[in-house]
Structure 1
Amino acid sequence: MSEMALDEMSVLSAIYCEKDEFELLEKSAEKGLVFRIQMKVEAATSERTLLSLLFQLPTEYPHCVPKISVSSEQLSRKQCQHIKQSLLEKASALEPDPMVHELLLWLQQNFTELTLNDQSLVEVQDEGGIHPSPENCESRCGFIRKEMQREDDENSLRNPSLRPQTDLIF
C-alpha cells in the first residue's frame, strides 16, 4: 500500500475524530486500507442525514479509484446506490492523487442535488450512457473484472430478505 494512502488515512482520521466518525476496518498488503466514515450531511430542507461511507483503498491507490459503499437508514437503497455511483464517477474524473477528502467535500456540497435527482441518472445508466467505475479502474489499474463479478455473484446469492435495505456491498 502506498505511503500516500497511509498519509490520507491519517489526515481523514484527524478530520473525522468525533466518536464513531472514523473507523479503520482493515489494513493489509492484499486489500489495502478499508475504513468507514460516518458523517451528517445537510439537505436543502436543513434536514441532516447520517451517511455511512465505506472506502477500500486498493494497493494501487491513488492510481486507481477507491471502492465505495454508501448506506443510510434515512435514504432509500436507490438513493444510496446513486450517491455511490456519483462518487465513483467523480473519483474517475479526478487526477490520480489522494481523493477521499475531496470526494467527501463534493458529496456535502452536492447532497441535495444527488438525493433529489436520482431518477435522471438511473435512466441514463439504463441507456448505457454511464460506465461504472470498476470498468474504468480495470483499464487504469489492471483489476480483473472477473473477480469483481465473482464477488457480485456471491453477494447476489445471499438471501436479500436477511440484509438491511440500505446495506450496500462493494
Structure 2
Amino acid sequence: MMLREITREEQVELDRALYDALNPLASAIRSRETGLSVDRMWDANPVEVALSVLAAWRTVDAEVKRLTANAAATAGSYGASYEQLGAVWGITRQGARKKWPDAVTRPAPPTARTSNLEIFGGTAELVQAPSGGWSWTGEGADGASGATGDGACYATAEEAAAHAGAFLKEHAVDAAGRP
C-alpha cells in the first residue's frame, strides 16, 4: 500500500477539523491557567493564549501517537508485516519495528513433537523440529544406529517414518538372531 499525498482541499478540510477539535481543549487550558471564563478567553495575555494553544497541540500530539500505535498493532494483529507498516508510514521496515516494537507478533515456534516406531525388532524416534520438519534416529535389531542423514528434514511424520522403517527393516534379525 503506497501512501498517497492528500489534495489541497483535503488539507484545508483536515486543518479545519483539527482546529475545531482543538479549540475546546485550548479554551479549557486557557481558562484553567488564567482563571478567566471561556467567554473571556481572548482577554488573556497573547503569550498565554499562544502557550495554551501549544499545550493543547502537545496533548493532541500525544493522543495521535497513541492512536497511531493502536492502528499499527491492529494491522499487525491481522497479519501486516513491519515492511508493510513502514511502507504506509514512509519509513523502513527497521524504522517501523523501532517505532512500534510490539505491533507485529511472531507466532511461537511449535513445540517439538516426538513419536516412536517399533518394527522389525528395532526402534526409531521421530522428532518434529520447531521449523515443522521431521527427522528420525533409530537402532536396528542388530544394534546398528541410524539417523536422518546430512541434516535432511522430511515434510511429514509419515515420510520420516517410512525412511526410519526402511532402516529398521535393513537391520532386522531373523528368529535365530541372524541379520
Structure showing the higher helix proportion among its residues:
2
Query: Which structure has more RCO (C-alpha within 8 Å, separation ≥ 6)?
Result: 1
Task: Give the TM bin, normalised by the shorter chain.
Answer: under 0.3
TM-score after normalising by structure 1: 0.26
Structure showing the higher strand proportion among its residues:
1
TM-score after normalising by structure 2: 0.25
Rg (Cα) greater in structure: 2
